[in-house]
Amino acid sequence: MVPSIQYASRPKEAEFESLVADLFRRGGWRVVRQPSGREPGADIIVDTGGRHYIIEVKRSSEGRSDRLIPLLAQAILQVQEARRSFPKSSVSVAVVAADRVPDSVAERLKDFARQYAPDVAVGIIDLEGFRAFQGFGLERFNAERSMPSSHGVLSQASLPLHLFSDLNQWMLKVLLAWRIPESLLSAPRERYRNATQLARAAGVSVMSASRFVRQLSNDGFLDNRKGRLDVVRIEELLERWCGANHKRVRQLSARWIIRGGENQLQTAVASYASRLDAPSSRSMPSRRPVRRGSLPRICLGLFAAAEVLGVGFVRGVSPHLYLERLDAQALRQLGLSLEDVNRNPDVQLLIPENEESVFRPVVRRADVPVSDIVQVWLDVANHPARGKEQAEQIWKKVLGPALRSLGDDRSR
């Protein structure tokens, strides 16, 4: 069992920690980002189902070997110490990063690790897309550097998943929630004066909230002149959000092992949800989920969710079910199989990259977890089966009236 440990994030490493976490998440591994705290130690924990990878990230302002080798040595020592609190099968991973790391320097770093810490996996990354991992199967994440920018380095604004990272999408929903009925989006429903208040409500680190608020403000989508965080230019923001949300899920077709009645999916999902040990979306949605059990979170998505939320418009499309990660036990309990799927599958399974922003705001209808209305709008807008029409209905009935004047409210 992985112990509950809190570690502090460090400002210089924060962006690279996000890059590393997103890299593993896109690879289908479960990433546990530790909340801020006072104890030093590992920055990221990756759970592959049978093994945990304990990761320490160090960043240098320069990609020189005389700067990176001492940092790698420090990362190795720290992650070895942090690993003592985890199961013996866990893997220590030391990652060093810089704006640009030459190939020759990366080779020196790997040689150093092979000689002095053969039991520790290492990774070298930079902002040009270069990824060089060594040990314990992590080589699958290696990548050549992409085309550099005109200055030889990608700017911070060009980093992937920046404004619309997983936790940033969740915080956006928290900022918008006071305008949207609680029956359609489960989130704290307050107004916030600063990033600290937002962090506390959303259950994220103050550092994450501060970076998010700063980016939102820099992009012109935040007005704090009234002493609170007011989102403005909402339609443009949602348009950008919708574009960033496109193709950020892994989709798999599934069929029923034993076919049942018309409401088979909702019945199966409600029964499955009742077995989850983690707090439901109805209790303390603002807090970081406590994973007491091993079952992944689930919820209805897209058109099936729209139907349950009372804004359904499209019929005849295979229902979509969000599943936090692919899990054989979860499929068995739901009564679904990925084998022998024909051209007309019963259910489309969606494995999201942005799992926190999908599952934290989930609402319950008759004990069935359902995607929040913002997520449904984001998802159907890009769907080829009349998704645009469904999105227009959601905007017309719910989001338009609720959000169109966002930032112009004068009643508070």
Domain-embedded: residue 180: yes
Q: What CATH code is carried by the domain that includes residue 218? A: 1.10.10.10
- Phi–psi pair at 132, nearest 5 degrees: -135, 100
User: Where is pLDDT greater, at 51 or 244?
Assistant: 51
Res. 191 pLDDT band, cuts 50 70 90: very high
If one counts the domains in the chain, the total is 3
Q: Which residue has the higher pLDDT, 223 or 156?
A: 223
* pLDDT at 7 exceeding the cut of 50: no
pLDDT class of 224 with cuts at 50, 70, 90 = confident
For residue 27, give both structure tokens: 């690879």
Residue where a domain stops, chosen among 116, 139, 158 = 158
Query: 6 lies in a domain?
Result: no
CATH number (domain holding residue 111): 3.40.1350.10
The answer to whether residues 177 and 253 belong to one domain is no
Residues 129 and 266 placed together within one structural domain of the fold: no
The CA distance from 96 to 122, in Å, is: 8
Verify that 34 and 70 share a domain, yes or no.
yes
Q: In the beta sheet, which residues pair with residue 125?
A: 97, 131
Phi/psi of residue 39, each to 5°?
-95, 135
**386 within domain boundaries:** yes
Which residue type sits at 370?
V
pLDDT band of residue 72 (cuts 50, 70, 90) is very high
Question: In this structure, are 256 and 386 located in the same domain?
Answer: yes
Of 93, 96, 104, 94, give the one whose Cα is nearest residue 59: 96
Strands 91-98 and 120-126: parallel
Lowest mean pLDDT among 30-34, 204-208, 250-254, 307-311: 30-34
The neighbour count for residue 231, using CB atoms within 10 Å, is 18
| Residue 162 pLDDT | 66
Q: Lowest mean pLDDT of 149-153, 192-196, 396-400, name the range.
A: 149-153
Contacts 24+ apart (CB under 8 A), 104-113: 105/63, 105/64, 105/65, 105/68, 106/130, 106/132, 108/65, 108/69, 109/65, 109/68, 109/69, 109/72, 110/134, 112/69, 112/72, 112/73, 113/72, 113/76
Burial class (CB in 10 A: 0-12, 13-18, 19+), 366: exposed
Tens of pLDDT, residues 119-167: 999 999 987 788 999 999 899 888 886 544 433 333 333 334 468 888 9
Residue 34 has pLDDT above 80, yes or no: no
Per-residue confidence (pLDDT) for residue 73, from 0 to 100: 94
**Which pLDDT band holds residue 340 (cuts at 50, 70, 90)?**
confident
Burial profile 311-347: b = 16 or more Cβ within 10 angstroms, e = fewer: bbbbeebbbbbbbbbebeebbeebbbeeeeeeeebbb
42 in a domain, yes or no? yes
Residue 69 sits in the same domain as residue 184: no
Closest by alpha carbon to 125, among 30, 52, 24, 53? 24
Strand order in the sheet with 52-59: 30-33, 44-47, 52-59, 91-98, 120-126, 131-134
The pLDDT of residue 247: 59
Pairing label, strands 298-301, 320-323:
antiparallel
**Interstrand relation of 131-134 and 222-223 (parallel, antiparallel or unpaired):** unpaired
Domain boundaries, position 315: 249-400
Q: Are residues 335 and 365 both part of a single domain?
A: yes
In a domain, 411, yes or no: no
Q: Are residues 236 and 259 in the same domain?
A: no
**Residue 290: burial class (beta carbons within 10 Å; 0-12, 13-18, 19+):** exposed
Q: Which of residues 221, 245, 269 is at a domain's end?
A: 245
Q: Give the pairing type, strands 44-47 and 320-323.
A: unpaired
Would residue 405 count as lying in a domain?
no
* Strand partners for 255: 337
288 and 380 both lie in a single domain: yes
264-315 pLDDT, tens digit each: 999 999 989 888 744 444 443 444 444 444 789 999 999 999 999 998 887 7
- Does 179 share its domain with 130? no
Residue 197 has pLDDT above 90, yes or no: yes
Q: What does the DSSP assignment read for 85-134?
A: TS-TT-EEEEEEEES---HHHHHHHHHHHHHH-TTEEEEEEETTS-EEEE
Dist CA 59 CA 12 (whole Å): 7
Instruction: State whether 16 and 154 are in the same domain.
Output: yes
For residue 383, the one-letter residue type is H
Which residues 6+ apart lie within 8 Å of 47 measured at CB?
Answer: 2, 29, 30, 31, 32
CA 400 to chain CA centroid, Å, is: 26
Q: pTM for the whole thing?
A: 0.60
> C-alpha distances in angstroms, 303 versus 341, 370, 381?
21, 11, 11
Average pLDDT, the chain: 81
User: 39 in a domain, yes or no?
Assistant: yes
Same domain, 181 and 126: no
Q: Is residue 408 domain-resident?
A: no
Q: Angle, nearest 10°, between helix axes 234-245 and 373-380?
A: 60
Radius of gyration of the CA atoms of the chain, in A: 22
Give the residue-averaged pLDDT of 340-358. Answer: 85
Domain boundary residue, one of 193, 225, 245: 245
For residue 2, name the pLDDT band (cuts at 50, 70, 90): very low
237 and 199 both lie in a single domain: yes
- One-letter amino acid for residue 231 of the chain: V
